[in-house]
Amino acid sequence: MSDGVKATVDCHVKILNEAVVERAKQAGLDVLVYAPHFTRLPEIRDQASAYSDDDLLVVPAREVFTGSWRNRKHVLAIGLSDPVPDFISLEAAMAEFDRQDAAVLVPHPTFATVCLSETDIAQYAEMIDALETFNPKHLPFHNRRARALAREYDLAPFTSSYAHLSRTVGTAYTVFETAIDTETDLLEALHDPAPRRIAHETGLERWETTASELAHLGYENTWKKVDRLFLSGTEPTHPNHIAYEGRFDDVSVY
């Protein structure tokens, strides 16, 4: 996979299928971090394993939706050994990530209503392994703000395609100056943190990606979808689901 000198990592994609894998390989990626919405960790692990091969490592991860739907804060955790549900308090999620020694990444900081605020970042800076300084959904001022936060709180940068659409995979990635051939290698590179640089497409292609992903975001956040997914309390990543054995009942926000 990597050449022993560097590894190109798309640090956050939402979809995984043959088309995604083909596009990732065409883009020269070594690693995909797969963190689909509202899917339990065992299923994510199974899918990541099924699509990994000698040319592409797929690493399972969870983007946990902390807080309520109206005030949700997304945190990306890599290296979880035990499942963590959505819709628990941010404090509880961060404590669980710390217990499991997961790598904690901040996707799309201060963006819309789905992110950690600067106050959150300041509070948990010592627990955060990296902050996303470029996201294809961002407008330029969002990315400038993210870079400023990374500098202010001395946080390592990362980027990702944050792909909800297969065409977006590989349009932004992090180049680590170290070999990454296993999930453990990636965790070590994030915890260290290893030297890296941020790479992404520019020009018209960049804005086409932004437009298509923002359009998809509008669909994804409809209340109809929310009603369908979360009101019964039995969905896979709901904290009251039987799979969590009541461990998160006292920190559930629903």
What confidence category does residue 122 fall into, taking pLDDT thresholds of 50, 70 and 90? very high
What is the Cα–Cα distance from 53 to 233, expressed in whole angstroms? 36
What is the Cα–Cα distance from 202 to 209, expressed in whole angstroms? 10
Give the least confident one: 91-95, 175-179, 200-204: 200-204
What is the Cα–Cα distance from 38 to 35, expressed in whole angstroms? 9
Continuous H helices in the chain:
18-26, 41-51, 90-99, 118-124, 140-152, 183-191, 203-220, 223-230
What confidence category does residue 140 fall into, taking pLDDT thresholds of 50, 70 and 90? confident
Count H helices and E strands in the chain, helices first.
Answer: 8, 9
What is the Cα–Cα distance from 105 to 215, expressed in whole angstroms? 25
What is the Cα–Cα distance from 193 to 143, expressed in whole angstroms? 21
Quick one: tokens of 34?
């797969």
Taking the CA of residue 60 as centre, how many other CA atoms within 13 Å lie in the half-sphere pointing to its CB? 18
Quick one: tokens of 154?
């001395």
**Domains of the chain, residue spans:** 7-221
CB atoms within 10 A of CB 6: 18
Architecture, CATH, for domain 7-221: Alpha-Beta Barrel (3.20)
What confidence category does residue 56 fall into, taking pLDDT thresholds of 50, 70 and 90? very high
What is the Cα–Cα distance from 23 to 46, expressed in whole angstroms? 21
pLDDT computed for residue 195 by the predictor: 97
Please give the residue that has the higher pLDDT: either 136 or 144. Answer: 144
- What pLDDT digit, counting tens, does each position of 68-107 carry? 878 889 999 999 999 999 999 999 999 999 999 999 999 9
